[in-house]
Amino acid sequence: MSKEIHLPRILIVDDEPAIQRFLKTALANGEFVLFQAENGHGALAAAVTTRPDVILLDLGLPDLDGVEVIKRIRQWSTVPIIVLSVRDREADKVNALDAGADDYLTKPFGVGELLARIRVVLRRALQQVEEPVFRVDELQVDLARRLVKIGNDVLALTPTEYDLLRLLVTNAGKVLTHRQILKQIWGAAYLEQPHVLRVNISNLRHKLEKDASRPRYILTESGVGYRFKSDL
């Protein structure tokens, strides 16, 4: 008896026929099942009926702004959302990511990069369910034992540094904004104190990195936040 193969379901939300055709062609490799919606309300309905594994979302929809769509989906679902938008201002990226988007690609983008980002969010969703130990290069983070190692060396992290690292690695490949991290680790009272985050990121880099000035693990998204390295 053959085992049924689950192909990841991708919901494409864009009102431009040319972009829809481009995405369908780019993703028509037999690895995905594709669904489409042309506006915000259609996206919300399709997110319920198709139960996608990833949503590719344009922000400039004719009825609802894409950020509002993200907020409404996040009220009931953690499905990965990758924003595909011509909006390239830092403020637009921060707003979408703060609303709950997992990643943000500015149009135009390459097919290879899009496929890599999709693989990252799919792999992260699988790791959160199955993998208690995060590994990348020499770094190992054992989430069950709260143990962090570089090669064979166990690192001595403060409780705050560990909580910060845990947040980053469990969202590896995802951009986390300054406000998201501050709220999660220190609470809402620290939202306007980004220096607290900068100091702890610096301390963490000095413990993790061979050269903290050229980080391999904790990557800076200028003006937006941080992304932990994920092998593409």
Q: In terms of C-beta density within 10 A (0-12 exposed, 13-18 middle, 19 or more buried), how is residue 81 classed? A: buried
Fold of 131-228: Arc Repressor Mutant, subunit A (1.10.10)
Contact in structure between 186 and 116 (CB atoms under 8 Å): no
108's tokens:
């135009």
In which order are the strands placed within the sheet that holds 218-221? 175-177, 225-228, 218-221
Q: Where are the domains of the chain?
A: 9-126, 131-228
pLDDT in tens, 97-113: 999 999 999 988 889 99
pTM over 0.85: no
Cβ neighbors of 147 (< 8 A, separation 6 or more) are 140, 141, 154
CATH class for the domain made up of 9-126: alpha beta
pLDDT in tens, 200-230: 999 999 999 888 888 989 999 988 999 998 7
Contact in structure between 39 and 45 (CB atoms under 8 Å): no
pLDDT in tens, 169-205: 888 888 899 999 998 899 888 888 889 999 999 999 9
- Stretch 5-33: mean pLDDT, rounded? 88
Q: CA nearest 95: which of 178, 190, 201, 184?
A: 178
100's tokens:
């709950």
32's tokens:
């995905």
What's the pLDDT at 1? 41
In the 8-state DSSP scheme, what is residue 218? E
Other beta carbons less than 10 A from residue 204's beta carbon:
24
The long-range contacts involving 19-22, CB below 8 angstroms and separated by at least 24 positions, are 19/58, 19/84, 19/107
Task: Match 């400039």 to its residue by tokens.
Answer: 60
CA 125/CA 174 separation, integer angstroms: 11
CA 87/CA 75 separation, integer angstroms: 24
